[in-house]
Amino acid sequence: MAKNTNENNIVERLLSGDRRALARVISKIEREDEEAKGIVAEVYPKTGNAITIGFTGPPGVGKSSIIAKLVKLYRAEEKSVGIVSVDPSSPFSKGAILGDRIRLSDHFLDSGVFIRSMGSRGHLGGLAGGSRLAALAMEAAGFDVVLYETVGVGQGEVEVASAADTVVLALQPGSGDAVQALKAGVMEIADVFCINKADNPQAKNMKSEVRQILEIGHELDPDPWFPPIVLTRGDNGEGVEELKKEIENHRAHLEKTGKMEERRRAAMKEFVVSWATSRLEKEMKDRLNEEDAEMMEEVYKRRLDPISASEKIYREV
Ligand SMILES: Nc1nc2c(ncn2[C@@H]2O[C@H](COP(=O)(O)OP(=O)(O)OP(=O)(O)O)[C@@H](O)[C@H]2O)c(=O)[nH]1
Ligand SMILES: [Mg+2]
């Protein structure tokens, strides 16, 4: 009973925009605290109004620097901004926190900016699920804009970033980033390209390289979106205004064509499937270590085939 009152209290405080309540809720999400589920269930109906943007790109390309400049522009419009910084490669999020603290230090004392780093420790629903819930908590707390920063150009990053309404892919001039992103299937999910470090002499070449790659794929879409390619500088903010404009153009496109609804539905379905999948996976593994350990012995000794064992465990769970 006492726990319930406590939970109501934290929900109320979260919804009123209390930053300490927000920090606590995200910690509960990260710790896989049972209470987190109830809190999410209560605040979920109040979410869905934020502008969400996913930033992804290789390590050191300048994502945090650009985000810091972008935050400045949103703050000038009096929009509050929440940032979920995800680093799947590090078991601890300390590195990310330190770097982001330095680059986002201008915004550190601003109550309209909330930054949270998440490492790859186990989360409810995996890293993508955990960061998604952290973003939802920020939306519930009333943040106008929610940004995801995720390092890398692989499937995991795609999963995190694609929860956002607009995905920005940052690439480094003079690198093999574009080709790597193409191979990893990340090119297709980028709505806006950002070639950062425009001071690099290779920046313009990178732009034509990306343009050429984009010309290969032609979708049969009656309302096609042609991802713009913006040259930026994270150190002095050059091009970041244009980047913001293109993010807004993309958003307007989604709204005008009805793709926003479509996209959000797909993202939600993805969330539900991946959450359920990670629950199932955990339950199956637990079973194989306990109740079904003997069955697995049979498989190891080649008295039972692995497909029959899989079918059995699938039916049980
Ligand atoms: N020359 C130059 N350096 C830049 C530019 N933008 C960022 N940097 C520098 O690049 C380094 C990495 O910048 P970050 O913003 O931390 O990059 P990041 O992509 O967030 O890095 P991770 O989060 O570690 O993957 C820093 O030393 C920045 O000062 C730019 O436009 N030109
Ligand atoms: Mg960063």
Question: Is ligand 1 within 6 A of the CB of residue 63?
Answer: yes
Structural domain spans, the chain: 43-257, 272-316
For the cut 80, the answer to whether the pLDDT of residue 304 exceeds it is yes
Q: What is the pLDDT of residue 221?
A: 79
Mean pLDDT of all residues in 227-245: 97
For the cut 90, the answer to whether the pLDDT of residue 179 exceeds it is no
Q: What is the pLDDT of residue 216?
A: 72
- The residue whose CA is least distant from atom 12 of ligand 1 is 60
Mean pLDDT of all residues in 51-79: 93
Give the C-alpha distances (Å, rounded to integers) separating 162 from 93, 132, 189, 230: 21, 10, 7, 20
Q: What is the pLDDT of residue 151?
A: 83
pLDDT band at residue 120 under the 50/70/90 scheme = low
Of 139, 25, 26, which Cα lies nearest the Cα of 80? 139
Please report, rounded to a whole number, the percentage of residues in the chain having pLDDT higher than 90: 60
For the cut 60, the answer to whether the pLDDT of residue 33 exceeds it is yes
Q: What is the pLDDT of residue 105?
A: 59
Q: Taking the domain 43-257, which CATH number applies?
A: 3.40.50.300
For the cut 90, the answer to whether the pLDDT of residue 185 exceeds it is no
Alpha helices in the chain (DSSP H): 2-15, 19-30, 34-43, 63-76, 94-103, 126-140, 155-161, 177-183, 203-216, 240-257, 259-289, 293-300, 306-316
Q: Which is the closest atom of ligand 1 to the Cα of 95?
A: 24
Q: What is the pLDDT of residue 214?
A: 85
CB atoms within 10 A of CB 171: 28
Please report, rounded to a whole number, the percentage of residues in the chain having pLDDT higher than 70: 86
Q: Which is the closest atom of ligand 1 to the Cα of 67?
A: 15
pLDDT band at residue 144 under the 50/70/90 scheme = very high
pLDDT band at residue 78 under the 50/70/90 scheme = very high
Q: What pTM did the predictor assign?
A: 0.89
Question: Is ligand 1 within 6 A of the CB of residue 62?
Answer: yes
Measure the CA–CA gap between 96 and 87, rounded to whole angstroms.
Answer: 7
Could you tell me which residues come within 8 angstroms of residue 170 by beta carbon, excluding any fewer than 6 positions away?
55, 56, 57, 58, 61, 62, 63, 66, 194, 195, 196
Could you tell me which residues come within 8 angstroms of residue 95 by beta carbon, excluding any fewer than 6 positions away?
87
Q: Which residues surround ligand 2, an ion (CB under 5 A)?
A: 63-64
Q: What is the pLDDT of residue 279?
A: 86
For the cut 60, the answer to whether the pLDDT of residue 12 exceeds it is yes
Return the DSSP state at 106. Answer: G
Q: Report the separation in Å between the CA atom of 169 and the middle of ligand 2, taken as the mean of its atom positions.
A: 13
- The residue whose CA is least distant from atom 14 of ligand 1 is 62
207 sits in the region (left: phi over 0; alpha: psi -120 to 50; else beta) called: alpha
For the cut 70, the answer to whether the pLDDT of residue 175 exceeds it is yes
Least-confidence region, from 12-16, 143-147, 171-175: 171-175
- Regarding predicted confidence, which is higher, 97 or 106? 106
pLDDT band at residue 26 under the 50/70/90 scheme = very high
Report the side by side order of strands in the sheet with 81-86.
113-118, 81-86, 145-151, 51-57, 166-171, 192-195, 229-231
pLDDT band at residue 2 under the 50/70/90 scheme = very low
For the cut 60, the answer to whether the pLDDT of residue 122 exceeds it is no
- The residue whose CA is least distant from atom 17 of ligand 1 is 62
Of 68, 56, 81, 78, which Cα lies nearest the Cα of 146? 81
Average pLDDT over the chain, rounded to an integer? 87
pLDDT band at residue 92 under the 50/70/90 scheme = very low
Q: What type of residue is 229? A: I
Q: Which residue carries 């819930």 as its tokens? A: 133
Q: Which is the closest atom of ligand 1 to the Cα of 151?
A: 25
Of 224, 223, 216, 244, which Cα lies nearest the Cα of 232? 244
Alpha helices in 155-230 (DSSP H): 155-161, 177-183, 203-216
For the cut 70, the answer to whether the pLDDT of residue 148 exceeds it is yes
